[in-house]
Structure 1
């Protein structure tokens, strides 16, 4: 059986949650209007957000680092480390730095330690916009590579649910290339303008990261089911090639 370790389940869920939470954090802090916020503005806690981001960074950074430097981590598709793990590592590094800054320097004043100084936040993000923008460039190139070279491919027949559509690899490649990487890239590319206060850029970022984050989180969470079934199917077929496999 081919090595199938990629950590794409957990890394995908965490990356999706980051894309969902970051624009909502910005909306709550700056008072920007956003639909489907799903977070109460009147219960903001700086330390609560720091704890949430720290928990995500604690998982994302080491897994993305391991799957980047251990190349190829996935023997079946050796290029997956490049288009999946390396962008995730850049995201994780930015999240680690942002979490540290929020914990140490974001307070507006000592009298209200939970409140964040928005002007200080914008100033701190100014150099970070360069990193996020170029992460967007990386994601654009990854999206093109996924579609052009069928990089994601179709799921094997032994994988429940998604394996039923394995004969149509174009569907999964377009979903990843446009729906996940493409939308994430657009949000990164408009990030500098959004930080400077451009309302149209902010709404573009909000919707792109919300949709892409939801896609990453849902698809990767589903993989906990489909990958478990796939590995069980592979083990069963190795023991007895005539054994039935789980299709759903």
Structure 2
């Protein structure tokens, strides 16, 4: 089975971390875990968004049209691939805009600049919200195979991974997207702070979990392909 949702998860998480930090820098914010204090050179952000957008658009498109994870679960590619595809296209659009911007975006122009695209992101939030509901209602993620190290130890308790995906990965990302129009308007600081922390929590979780899967998936394949192999950790 071909698996590249690991790379998609890391890139999606990195995007969820970088986007609110770019906006915070433009707004002149000083928030916990912000890491980046000034907007800096727009072309630097364009490069970062362009790299992430290229990976997510390419792999998201392939997953959307070919369903590589169907041998495991026939419906899982829709949950993973389509949101990644639209996120990738949005990142490429941001990269193109920043690459053609000669000076940092002014904070006063930010609401009018983000107003149209904020409603596209809101629609992505609706998608993610229903994905979250599907994960909870239909046991979409379930548990990792027993042959997979670390996460496979919870094979008998599918509620653990389903809850993690819904409450820590998809749920916060969905809420953050739904808050973008209110936050972009510039008048609701509460919406902006909620967006910042929703994307931060989901982004950190996506990066750490998906990076760990490089280890756990490798161990799973070894357990499946090598007679007698039994890596639990």
Q: Is the 8 A contact 2:135 2:141 kept in 1?
A: yes
Q: In the alignment, does 2:82 pair up with 1:93? A: no
- 1:75 corresponds in structure 2 to 71
Give ranges in structure 1 of 5+ residues lacking alignment.
108-112
Paired residue secondary structure (1:190): helix
The aligned counterpart of 1:110 is none
Question: Could you say which residue in structure 2 is the equivalent of 1:180?
Answer: 169
* Count of residue pairs brought into register by the alignment: 232
**Distance (whole Å) between structure 2 residues aligned to residue 129 and residue 24 of structure 1:** 16
Distance 2:145 2:69 in 1: 18
- SS at the partner of 1:115? coil
The aligned counterpart of 1:245 is 230
Residues 7-49 of structure 1, C-alpha deviations (whole Å, 9 max, x = no match): 11000000000000000000111213422111232x7221111
Matched, 1:25 2:15: no
Rounded Cα–Cα distance in structure 1 between residues aligned with 2:119 and 2:87:
13
1:59 and 2:59 aligned: no
Larger deviation, residues 12-21 vs 43-52: 43-52
Residue of structure 2 aligned with 1:102, choices 74, 98, 103:
98
**TM-score scaled to structure 2, two decimals?**
0.95
Larger radius of gyration: 1
RMSD between aligned alpha carbons?
Answer: 1.4
Q: TM-score, normalised by structure 1?
A: 0.89
Q: Distance in 1 between matches of 2:30 and 2:177?
A: 19
Q: CA deviation at 1:182?
A: 0.6
Deviation of 1:72 after TM superposition, in Å, equals 5.4
Aligned counterparts of 1:123 and 1:75: Cα–Cα separation in 2: 45
Q: Against the structure 1 CA distance between its residues 72 and 244, is the aligned structure 2 distance closer, same or farther, given a 3 Å change threshold?
A: closer
Q: 1:229 to 1:72 in 2, by over 3 A?
A: closer
